[in-house]
Amino acid sequence: MEVKQYNFKAVDNDKVISLLQDKFKSVGTSEGNFSLNHGQIYCEVSKETIKNTIKMLKNDKDLKFDYIKCITGVDYKEYLEIVYSLYSFDNNYSVNIKVRIDAANPDVDSITDVFWSADWFEREIWEFFGINFKGHPNLKTLLLPGDVDYHPLLKSFEIKWEKREYVRPKVFE
């Protein structure tokens, strides 16, 4: 593992958005609906292009988004959304990539082969929101008891107060 010396660099978000738009065009995608909200850059892409988008952001020599801060799920009732928060240590850039997912067919490509650290983020989202990550190497229960058949962070989840015996997951990591 390489240890990098961190030096603070002031960032002009408008210039970062312009650079990101140029990079998106250079790889031949019309994706990239960019916005700025409370000093954070957001970009919406389709679920079909998320894996290639993340690869491009990580591997591009000018961007170098080499760290995934967080991946989280959101339930908007009509649709689900995943937000990938990426950071570039070299440039002090931060970007949030949003992907809208159909609530009736909640699946998206896994990015664990791009960022190995996405493993537990994706497992947690699968467990709590029911979003299936296609190609994930180890999609199994992480935090909930081993016999659950529900996704407690969905807005459609109904709490049922009942006594039940705790069933341990088969393998806990």
Q: What is the CATH number of the domain that holds 36?
A: 3.30.460.80
153 found inside a domain: no
Q: What is the pTM of this model?
A: 0.86
Beta bridge partners of 88: 93
Task: Tell me the pLDDT of the chain averaged across its residues.
Answer: 88
Whole-number pLDDT of residue 110? 97
Q: Are 162 and 148 in contact (CB under 8 A)?
A: no
Which residues face 133 on adjacent strands? 108
Task: Flag whether 65 is in a domain.
Answer: yes
Residue 66 placed within a domain: yes
159, pLDDT greater than 80? no
H or E segment and range at residue 158:
none
Q: Give me the number of domains the chain comprises.
A: 1
The whole domain housing 56 covers 13-134
**Residue 117 located in a structural domain:** yes
Overall residue count recorded for the chain in this entry: 173
Residue pair 60/70 in contact by the 8 Å Cβ criterion:
no
Residue 34: both structure tokens together: 């960019």
Token pair 């908007």 in the structure block, residue:
76
> Average pLDDT, stretch 43-66?
93
CA distances from 77 to 52, 81, 155, 165 (A): 27, 10, 7, 31
Higher pLDDT, 61 or 27: 61
What would the mean pLDDT of 25-35 be, rounded to a whole number?
73
Query: Which pLDDT score, from 0 to 100, does residue 128 have?
Result: 92
Mean pLDDT computed over 16-26: 88
Question: Which tens digits make up the pLDDT trace of 89-145?
Answer: 999 999 999 999 999 999 999 999 999 999 999 999 999 999 999 999 988 887 887
pLDDT, tens digit, 9 for 90 and up, residues 127-141: 999 999 999 998 888
How confident is the model at residue 142, as a pLDDT?
79
Amino acid identity of residue 55, one-letter, is K
Percent of residues, the chain, with pLDDT higher than 70: 91
The verdict on residue 160 lying in a domain is: no
**Is residue 34 assigned to a domain?**
yes
